[in-house]
Amino acid sequence: MKNLKLASRTITERTIVNVGNVKIGRDLVVIAGPCSVESEEQTLETARAVKKAGADMLRGGAFKPRTSPYSFQGLGLGGLKILARAREETGLPIVTEVIDPRDVSWVAEFADVLQIGTRNMQNFSLLKEVGQTGRPVLLKRGMYSTLEEWLNCAEYILSEGNPDVILCERGIRTFEKYTRNTLDLSAVPAIKELTHLPIIIDPTHSTGRLSLIGSMSMAAVAAGTDGLMIEVHCNPHEALCDAAQALTPEIFGGLMRRLRPLKSFLECDNERSAATYAENRSAVRCDNET
């Protein structure tokens, strides 16, 4: 970790990334939307639904890094224009992935946050390029990467003069086959020990199972995550990409109604326990004096 000049905890002040009115690193920020932008209709409908459910930002892929070259590759520039229209209508800032260094400046023209996907975490020329845009970057953890490798990638972006890096844990490869990946929730408190950068959790790609997304979102909030990135599709069965793991707007709405109260409960609880701790301390001191 000694190579981390800008990402390490030696900088004590926590980074808060401002995107419009959204403050990542201070509030619980929920980013929701479809895996990919398929059409204007689908994107706008989903955007309206996640906005109504209380999401803070809209996600959606215009450039898709697919495992197979024959899978749907995304709408490209057309997808970016649709996302810009969705922002115009809903006011939700846009998070979208960039996979090609040649596209970085163009994606930055349309999006509010540039996402670096798990497969590109160590694509250093891409990291340098996004480091020069002045747009916040959401850096997903490589599916085979250690925390140290991940933070070194953040360091690449920071060292180009871009201070706004958001880390996103999206599950790592293990021998377990029931889930798509294994969500490493310990990354949340560990990252907070190691760096001042905010961290969010992607419960969708990490589990790959609809039934687990709700529980893992709650667990992530309990672990102290700064936000969640959840796939929502207005019509999941017709999705062109990752159909089996997108929540319907209804289920997402239900989850949102549980997330925010949990967060406030934990905050109150923190204050309460801090108060109790202080009381106990003074009690102990009194005891010692006697």
Partner 1 sequence: MKLEEIRNKIDKIDRELLVLLQERMGLALRSKKFKKTVSDPEREEALLDRVERLNLDLMERSFTRQLLKTIIEESKRLQEKDHLLVAFQGEHGAYGDVASRCLVPDGAFIPCMEFADVFRGVEEGYLDLGVVPVENSLEGAVTQVNELLTTTNLKVIGEAQIPVKHCLLATEATNYREIRLVYSHPQALAQCRGFLMRNKLEPYPYYDTAGAAKMLARENPRTSAAIASSLCAELYNLEIIKQGIEDGPSNSTRFLLLSREPYEGRGDKTSVVFATPHKAGQLYKILSLFAEAEINLTRIASMPLRTDPGNYSFFLDLEGSDQDEKISQVLKQMKELTISFKQLGSYPADIQAV
Binding residues vs partner 1 (CB under 8 A) = 77, 102-103, 105-106, 108-110, 133
Structure tokens at 249: 């707007």
Pairing of strands 199-201, 22-24: unpaired
CA distance 105 to 142: 23
- Least distance between partner 1 and beta carbon 82 (Å): 13
Nearer to partner 1, 16 or 84 (CB): 84
Q: Are 74 and 37 in contact (CB under 8 A)?
A: yes
Q: Which residues contact 81 (CB under 8 A, 6 or more apart)?
A: 110
Q: Which is nearer to partner 1, 102 or 237 (CB)?
A: 102
| Residue 105 CB, nearest approach to partner 1 (Å) | 5
In angstroms, rounded to a whole number, what is the distance separating the alpha carbons of residues 41 and 33? 13
Sequence-separated (6 or more) residues with CB below 8 Å from residue 160: 127, 128, 131, 132
Question: Token pair of 36, please?
Answer: 């990919």
| 137-140 and 165-169 strand pairing | parallel
Closest separation in Å from C-beta 91 to partner 1: 17
| Nearest of 127, 200, 192 to residue 161 by alpha carbon | 127
Bridge-based pairing of strands 22-24 and 29-33 is unpaired
* Helical ranges in 54-76 per DSSP H: none
Pairwise CA distance, residues 198 & 110, whole Å: 23
Q: Which is nearer to partner 1, 104 or 143 (CB)?
A: 104
Q: How far is the CB of 169 from partner 1 (least distance, A)?
A: 31
284 exposure class (CB count in 10 Å sphere: 0-12, 13-18, 19+): exposed
Q: Which is nearer to partner 1, 134 or 189 (CB)?
A: 134
Query: Given the complex with partner 1, which of 31 and 137 has the nearer CB atom?
Result: 137
In the complex, least distance from residue 102 CB atom to partner 1, rounded to whole angstroms: 5
Tokens, residue 81: 């224009």
Nearer to partner 1, 88 or 176 (CB): 88
* Residue 138 beta carbon to partner 1: minimum distance, rounded to whole angstroms: 20
Which of 157/256 has CB closer to partner 1? 157
Shortest Cβ distance from residue 17 to partner 1 (Å)? Answer: 20
To the nearest whole angstrom, how small is the minimum distance from the Cβ of residue 126 to partner 1? 15
- At 19 the three-state DSSP class reads strand
**Closest CB to partner 1 among 103 and 231?**
103
